[in-house]
Chain A
Amino acid sequence: MAVSSSPQDEYLERVKAEIRAEAERARVRDPLPRHDPPPRATQARRPAFDAGIERERLDYAIGELTGPHYRAFLDQAFRAVLKRPPDEAGSELQIRLLAAGASKAEVLGNLRWSPEGRRVGTRVRGLLPRYALAKLVRVPLLGYFVEWGLAFAGLPLLLRHQRAADTSSAARFGALDEAQANAQRMLDELRAAHAALDAEHDRRSDALRADIDRMLLRLDALEEQARGLEERARALEARAIAGAHEAIELRHYVHAANHWVTSLQRSLDELEETAASGRERADALAASIDVDADEATARDARHASWSAVLATRLPAGAHMLDLDSGDGSWLAALAARGIAASGVEANAAMVARAQQQGLAIAVGDPLAVLLRCADGDLDGLSLSATTLAREQTDIAALLVEARRVLKPGGHLLLRCEHDPHRLVIANAALDAAQHSRALLVAAGFVAPKSLPANRAFALLAQRPAA
């Protein structure tokens, strides 16, 4: 049958030609290994499906084929008469006939004289009359009487068959009784074996139960341990949670403290700025204060008195240092006595005013200047009680420093007077000066001498000569 042609077939033919060419190339490139043709079945390998067929045998007696019953009968009949196993359709048809009361002779005849059976040509001796009779009884009306006649004529034979069947049944029952007895014996043996197995089973069950009990106890102990571990785990977990909470709280504290420190630092900075501003304002205010006339007179008088004493004690050309010089009135008194003296004052406004008077005075920290002086450098040193009254000043150490910078035999004058330029309480300064006598001695000064004056006094002491 040719495929209908169409314009597209040319396309397919072209493709197929290309495929053929590629196949030839592949055959050369990748030749398949040579193989033998597929194996053919041999007689020995034939499966059970075709087994039991005696192809050469074409002669049977009907008694050979009617022994088996039902499907076994059909299987044998097909194999003997048609020389093949039964096919499903044919087998089902003959089964229906048997179930409908057909005789085996009729079934055998159906097979033998079917077109296939005729072609095979198997001879079944004694089949033809039986088959003919079977077919005859199927003829309407006539068949009915024939079947009656056959049954009547066959009664003696049927009776013989009945008796033979009774004998056969008795024999079979006997055999069955014997088989039942054997089966009962086997059953008893099996029961005994079963009882033994039961006992063994019970023994093993008991052992197993004991093992299970031991395992259960062990399991209880393990469960107890597990519970303990679980409780410990819960406690640890609670502690961990509490720790975590504490850590969170601590972090909050740290953050708060950090915030507080930052705020404090900011406040301190503000305070320092305020303090610096206050100091500047205080310095300016102090420098602007005018000493009243009485005070000035009294001050000049005592400065003249004290400078006169010093002038008698200091050698010619002596050099003297004054700390906390204030407005320079003391330096002026020393200069008036011909004593070369220089001063140090922290208040820049005061220093500026004193410098305008031509006095040798500089701005600085009096204590720092003292510490920088070389050993035995000065003939004289004057200190204001204000210096001693500074907060955190170690008076004993200060006096030791004073002794160090004086030449042997040099003089120290400690002035204790009310200084209106400073925010220093005079009484406190006086108290400090009064106690300073003992301190002077302790620091290694000798011959401390008071130089009293109006509303003030001075202490004059000398570093021992070498």
Chain B
Amino acid sequence: MRIGVLVPGLAAHDAVSNDTLGMTAALRRLGHEVAVFAPHARGVDEPILAPAAVGDWLRSPQDVLLYHYCVGWDFPLALFQRTRARRILRYHNITPPAFFADWSEGYVSACAEGRGQLDAYAAMNCELYLGCSPYNLEDFSVRGVDPARCALLPPFHQVEQLRGLQADAQRLPAGSPLLLMVGRLAPNKAHFALVDALAALKLQQPRAHLLSLGKLDPNLSRYGDALEARIQERGVAAETTLLQDANGAELRAAYERADALLMLSEHEGFCVPLIEAMALGTPVIARASSALPWTLGNAGLLWESTDPHLIASAVLRLRTDRELRETLRERGRARYAERFAPSVLERDLHAVLQRFDA
């Protein structure tokens, strides 16, 4: 089968790009002819074709156009409307614009534009809506998309490559307990709640430290400024490290050293850091929001609230309760192996594509 993969852009260390490239490789291993089309690409090995060429590349109605939908982009919308090929909408979710209100009007506009296309895609009756999580698929089920046209496939990832790296802890802080957050600095990631939890924990553990690995988009500089002010206000500047240029070896070391991964995001379409933590044996404390409960399963401590004392108490309990720690690690490794290991994802992808063979 000839499959044209369309994506808004490719970059190294990006979750959508990892899913695109991992799925492309898996499709080729399954015997399909695959080409990737993107307006721009940086730091990836895959040969990229211009999006305008995808229409000509797909020759038969039996071919497949697979679009990774994660931003607002008119071109695929128009392409989906006119193509004769079968259409798979790979949905990674788009952060609701309300999270960016007062932080960046550009983000508000872009996210609104992206989510504004949900109705159009839902109305197209695509051959397959492929969600990274049940939470993502809800966006289509509420718009009346036939559940038979929906399928669940967690994203392909780089966890095995991360596991194989030599850890480099030279730039990591020495505080203990060490709370880890992995993800870009963005309002939906609830960094303020992390800082508040650290302040509460510091009352009982003066050496506690928060390590955040993730970049700040210059367009969200106001959020960065506000976060900095929050850190100063809570008196935890010395106990907080925001590392924006961490490499894979440092990420590996952070998971090894951390007492817990703290994921208090209010909106996530899947959250790859959770499966990284599960695979590497780092206990997880997370907020029971959006896709997080499904991704984490029962392999971590899920809370409806981000109350600082509650999160701090959970960290302390993890630190002192060896049985709990080992139980969560064991469950995490098991959940990763059963649900998110590359071989499992490839098997699921194969099963999903079989419906096109019928």
The answer to whether B8 touches A9, judged by C-beta atoms less than 8 angstroms apart, is no
Interface size on B, residues (CB 8 A): 63
Q: Could you tell me the distance between the alpha carbons of A115 and B112 in the complex, rounded to whole angstroms?
A: 12
Q: Could you tell me the distance between the alpha carbons of A19 and B331 in the complex, rounded to whole angstroms?
A: 20
The answer to whether A50 touches B310, judged by C-beta atoms less than 8 angstroms apart, is no
Q: Closest approach, in angstroms, between the C-beta of B305 and any C-beta of chain A?
A: 9
Contacts of A217 in B (CB 8 A): none
Which residues of B67-85 are within 8 A (CB) of A?
A: 71-75, 77
- Pick from A11, A26, A30, A41: contact of B102, CB under 8 Å: A41
- The answer to whether the Cβ of A6 comes within 8 Å of any Cβ in the partner chain is yes
Consensus secondary structure, chain B interface: helix
- The answer to whether the Cβ of A116 comes within 8 Å of any Cβ in the partner chain is yes
The answer to whether B226 touches A39, judged by C-beta atoms less than 8 angstroms apart, is yes
Q: Could you tell me the distance between the alpha carbons of A116 and B116 in the complex, rounded to whole angstroms?
A: 9
Q: Could you tell me the distance between the alpha carbons of A96 and B53 in the complex, rounded to whole angstroms?
A: 13
- The answer to whether the Cβ of A3 comes within 8 Å of any Cβ in the partner chain is yes
Q: Closest approach, in angstroms, between the C-beta of B268 and any C-beta of chain A?
A: 12
Interface size on A, residues (CB 8 A): 47
Q: Which of A81-89, A261-269, A278-286 is the interface stretch?
A: A81-89
Contacts of B106 in A (CB 8 A): 49-50, 84-85, 87
The answer to whether B74 touches A23, judged by C-beta atoms less than 8 angstroms apart, is no
A 36-54 to B, binary, CB cutoff 8 A, 1 in contact else 0 = 0011110001110110010
Q: Which of B22-30, B87-95, B173-181, B195-203 is the interface stretch?
A: B195-203
Contacts of A202 in B (CB 8 A): none
- The answer to whether the Cβ of B155 comes within 8 Å of any Cβ in the partner chain is no
The answer to whether A27 touches B116, judged by C-beta atoms less than 8 angstroms apart, is no
Which residues of B215-249 are within 8 A (CB) of A?
A: 218-219, 221-222, 225-226, 229-230, 233-234
> A-B pairs with CB below 8 Å: how many?
131
- The answer to whether the Cβ of B314 comes within 8 Å of any Cβ in the partner chain is yes
Which residues of A75-96 are within 8 A (CB) of B?
A: 82-85, 87-90, 92-93, 96
Contacts of B313 in A (CB 8 A): 19-20, 22-23, 26
* 30 A-B residue pairs with CB within 8 Å: A2-B293, A3-B293, A3-B297, A3-B302, A9-B298, A15-B321, A16-B301, A16-B303, A18-B317, A22-B317, A26-B204, A26-B309, A26-B312, A27-B309, A32-B200, A35-B233, A35-B234, A38-B192, A39-B229, A45-B225, A47-B222, A49-B104, A50-B104, A87-B71, A89-B9, A89-B73, A92-B39, A115-B113, A115-B120, A116-B74
Q: Which residue numbers of A lie inside 8 Å of B, CB to CB?
A: 1-4, 6, 8-9, 11-12, 15-16, 18-20, 22-24, 26-27, 30, 32, 35, 38-41, 45-47, 49-50, 53, 82-85, 87-90, 92-93, 96, 114-116, 119
Apart from the given pairs A3-B293, A49-B218, 10 other A-B contacts in the complex at a CB distance below 8 Å: A1-B294, A3-B298, A35-B233, A38-B230, A45-B225, A47-B221, A50-B104, A88-B40, A92-B40, A115-B113
